[in-house]
Structure 1
Amino acid sequence: MIGFPLKKGVYKVEKTNKKSLKWLWIAIAIAVVVGIAVWCVVNAVNNPKLGKDGSENIFNFSGTLVLFTIAFVVIAVGYLLGSVNIKGVSLGTAGVFLIAILIGYLCSLIPEDAGLFSAFRLTESSSVVGTFKGTLQNTGLILFVGSVGFIAGPNFFKNLAKNFKTYIVLGVVIILAGTLATVLCILLAPQYGSEYWVGVLSGALTSTPGFSAAKDAIAGSVDATNLESLITLGHAVAYPFGVVGVVLFVQLMPKFLKADMKKESEYLKAGASEEARDYSKFFKCEDFGFMPFGIAIIAGLLLGSITIPLSGAGYNGPCFSLGTTGGVLIMCLVFGHFGHFGKLSLEVKEGTLKVLREFGLALFLLGAGVHGGVSLVEQVSHFGAGIVVWGFIGGAFITIVPMFVGFLLGKYVLKLPLLNSLGSITGG
């Protein structure tokens, strides 16, 4: 059989045709979905008593249906927004958070007499919002922190022992710089309360565990609901610049320094201490690793629930607790480090961990964002639009200061390679 080589121009035409067909099918799919939605709305308006229960429209929007409709709309549109790439910068999963804030805000504006759409009206006291900020948010946080612990576990303690002093000093300095910047913001705008600025701090540093710890700290207070709303709003206002600011800093700093990234990558590989593990000699209960992951989560929750009194007042005074986040992270790091218990494998597949990490983060940002959007209306009506403006400016300041302080310390004082310095900043 004789073959003829394809010319470059012909290949380009075929590739273009495939792209055209792809967009054609996407357009057809969108047209079908929109057509079905329009048909449903028209039927609901023109035939108001088609519901089986005799309700006034064809749809029966239960709380569960509203919850999952909002959740999956936010996730779908959020990931679409996150996939937009402008000169190498994209929001990624943070797109879910921004859309969640927007949807939460819009749903809180729906009036009670909006007919078909009144089922999607969200308030601070509604059970749907309670599920978003409670069940979904905490489930996502546990999945995210647990998967991060398993991923980091195999090399965490080795690398920590090797570079313990350097990374501890750098981490402490970055946190202190962020804290001092936050204190300055509190002094400049005390009218919004320290709780709001703590939320801004966690959002500016994109610290999911910090955000969770802040809410845990005020859980037992008298005005816990209002304070939690302030923390959530502060986190929501500062988070977008926290994400974009770090991405821009990491991408632009090497260009500003005119660094040879090939040489920097070689330095990083030379200092790495990653070892491949052979799990074949251990017994596996199942292939995905959900069993060891589940056991580690349970152990972490139990560890995090331990409370130690710090004064003579006992449990009525100040107490220390690792909390949900700390307990789960520590136990998953330990499970990931050892990798087996006797002949029983504790391996969780890398693909499984990546999915759990991404899904957990999406759930957490979904819950926090919707709640933040709903509370935005109440807080703005109480404090005015200044709370958002101050939060954004202060958040940008809190994002920028620790990055520059940490980078200068790591690069020029601790003499870390460029990529190690940038990596420490993203972790700090």
Structure 2
Amino acid sequence: MTTADRDRIALAGARLVLPGGVVDGGRLVTEGSRIAAVTSAAGGGTEPGDLDLAGHTVVPGFVDLHVHGGGGASYASGVAEEAFRAARTHLDHGTTTTVASTVTGEIDNVARQAGVLSELVEDGVLAGIHFEGPFISRNRCGAHRPDLLRDPDPALVRKLVDAARGHARMVTLAPELPGGLDSVRMLADLGVIAAVGHTDSDYATTLDAVEAGATVATHLFNAMPGIAHRAPGPIVALLEDERVTVELINDGVHLHPSVLDLAYRTAGADRVALITDAMGAAGMGDGFYPLGPLQVEVSDGVARLVEGGAIAGSTLTLDVAFKRSVTVNGLTLGQAVESLSATPARLLGLADSIGSLETGKNADLVVLDSGSYDLVAVMRRGRWVLGGDRFTTVKPD
């Protein structure tokens, strides 16, 4: 047996969710870390040695643009072992590409955290860093310490971006604050995503931010003014512009299902990125957890600040978001894959290697039960990280 044979895995009989549509009984072959072949015709057949995935649905690995932690660990801890545990927790739930999010803290502390996270990007554990805070509105700060917030002075924003050593992917800021629009322009020039979020901005200022280069709405609807009939605010401005990708948290807590449906009808799946915004309690039980310098209590799966009771991120994982999107919101499998994989991959500039099941791309796969859409197995870069031993091998006739 050659090395190539040992590194080759063939999946047969599954429902494959491909860019061109859904195929029942398709066949997908991986070699090493890549997808080597995809049979796009129904009933692609099986060969001896294939893994029998009848009754299962295979989708691309999920891509999370916005996540603060999991498994009892936080990306804001500044400890590499904790960051690795958080990433592994979400990997076990199908997130094969993670952008780690920080929270508001002292600038020097956040810069130090960025240095630690950069090492994990360089090791291939993470795909980049998202700075959420401290450049946000005190009026919409949510689970961020108000006394640590700062205006988005371009020099301070640049300090954090530089601390990420080329791995800063996104910065969330409130564009109405002094320096906000200048920072948006600077980020766009640097190739870093400028995201509008935790903002008290009005409609016109939000439009100015988009014209300046902002391309993401950080957890749309949450931590920003609602829609009023004479003051449409940031939500309408962000939804109506085709240049903007909107993050949504589909955990049944942050958004009513009808609000999520409205966003899909307005923006379409190719402009929606489903995120977790998860904190350290994701993958864990109820209890008390840190979120940066703040304490959070999780009760019945809902995370709230101990002081004040504000919602403090989520305990969501993307496999649950996928299932809710299909079973509660009625998205098609293709729409769900678009929002959990393809759209965030395009936004990150990584669509040539992740985000869809296509020959030559990374072998990042999630296997779901075709009836319940519960997660069954996860593969990252051609290696099973969860559940690969559950499948039987096709025997010769």
Q: Same fold (TM over 0.5)?
A: no
The higher relative CO (CA closer than 8 Å, separation ≥ 6) is in 1
TM-score (normalised: structure 1): 0.24
Q: If each structure's helix is expressed as a fraction of its own residues, which one has the higher value?
A: 1
Q: If each structure's strand is expressed as a fraction of its own residues, which one has the higher value?
A: 2
Please say which structure displays the higher CA radius of gyration. Answer: 1
